[in-house]
Every structure is written in C-alpha cells, then in structure tokens.
Amino acid sequence: MYAIIESCGKQYKVAEGDVVFFEKLDAEEGKKVKFDNVILVSDGKKVQVGNPYVKGIKVEGKVVAHGKAKKIIVYKMKPKANYRRKYGHRQPYTKVEITSIVMPTAKKEESAKAEKTETKKTAAKAEA
C-alpha cells in the first residue's frame, strides 16, 4: 500500500516503513506528525484519486531527526567588471518515518462484518 501526499509545496510517494526527508517541519523529534493532504492512495487492487484530496485518509509519521542538507555553492561573476560573489546554502530538513496509512473505510467494513457475525451469534443463541 502506498500514498502520494502533499507537504511543504511538494508531492511525496510514501509507504509504511519509509523514511522521507521533508522540508523543515514544526515538530519536535520523537513526536507524531499527521498528513491530511493525501492526493492518491493505492492498496494494490484499488486506486483512489482525490479531487483535489482523498477524504478521510491520513498518513501518520514519526519525526526521527532534524538536520541540514549538503552545502550548495552559488557563484556569480560578471566578466571584465571585477564582480564576483560566492556564497553557500544548506537547506534544513526533517527526517520522518512513515508509521501508517489510516483508511477509515476499511475500519467501517471490518466493524460492519463484526456486527453481522455478532448478530448471527445472538440470533442462534435466541433460537436455542
């Protein structure tokens, strides 16, 4: 099962157990994070596509660490004008481990099946 979520202005394909690097999120290390903007969900048999988001489906994750990416060097130069600028940038990120993809429709189906079996059992006891 996988999902495509939208976070930090980007789209990410995630599955349970994946470790994903997001742009810096406001969450402490070890805390849980929920992503509500789910664009697509697939369980191998059925694909649900949102318009723009799939309703009722959430992706949960756990913040593993915060850090900075590798430095990128930016160099500007204008020839014959003695203009040179060199500077670097390190983009901050948040490392998140995806723990689960919550689908409430599956829970409703399971609870409906459980209720049916319970009613059958109670009906059988009442007859006996």
pTM exceeds cut of 0.85: no
Structure tokens at 117: 């079996």
What tens digit of pLDDT does each residue of 17-37 get?
A: 999 999 999 999 999 999 999
Nearest to 57 by CA among 3, 1, 111, 112: 3
Instruction: State what percent of residues in the chain have pLDDT above 90.
Output: 75
- pLDDT interval class at 128 (50, 70, 90): low
Residue 6, burial from CB neighbour count under 10 angstroms (0-12, 13-18, 19+):
middle
- DSSP letter for each residue of 37-61: -EEEEE-SS-EEE-SSS-TT-EEEE
- Which 8-state DSSP code applies to residue 77? E
Radius of gyration of the chain (CA): 24
Nearest to 93 by CA among 75, 117, 69: 69
Alpha helix (H) ranges present in the chain? 104-127
Number of Cβ within a 10 Å radius of residue 60: 15
- Report the mean per-residue pLDDT for the chain: 88
- Which 8-state DSSP code applies to residue 57? -
Over residues 34-60, the mean pLDDT reads 92
